Amino acid sequence: MKLYTYTVKYKNPFLFTNSTDSKVSKEIYNNNKPMSKSTLKSKKLILHNDQFTGIETVIFALIHILGYNDIQAQQITLITHQKGKCVIKTGKLKDLKIYQKKLKDTGLKITIED
């Protein structure tokens, strides 16, 4: 099996311009260095919609705990309200558990998924 590699021409590592078969294994490069397996298998911190937490509380938590700006926090809150859940951060499990605890302390429903 051939392994195709891509070099990133843009800042976004997911903008590929190659017409090879999508079933072939691909190695993602970031700054011309291969990303580690742990980065490729990062976990997702997910915010779930509930009927009890106010919009202002959600926006405040996203700004002060995760460091989002006002517009980002409002957009995440709107997506969560409309779709029922939204990925708010990705990363290592150890780091996400810290955020999960802080966000749960404010009353938000937060889960970590693969």
**DSSP characters over 57-106:** HHHHHHHHHH---HHHHHHHHHHHHHHSEEEEEEE-HHHHHHHHHHHHHT
Predicted pLDDT of residue 40: 59
With cut-offs at 50, 70 and 90, classify the pLDDT of residue 5: very low
What's the pTM value of the predicted model, to 2 decimals? 0.64
Q: Answer yes or no: do 8 and 55 share one domain.
A: no
pLDDT digits 0-9 by tens, 41-93: 799 999 999 989 999 999 999 999 999 999 999 999 999 999 999 999 999 99
Predicted pLDDT of residue 36: 58
Cα–Cα dist 29/100, whole Å: 29
pLDDT digits 0-9 by tens, 16-38: 434 333 333 333 344 445 555 55
Predicted pLDDT of residue 8: 40
Find the CATH number of the domain harbouring 57: 3.30.1390.10
Domain of residue 97: give its range: 42-113
Q: Answer yes or no: do 20 and 75 share one domain.
A: no
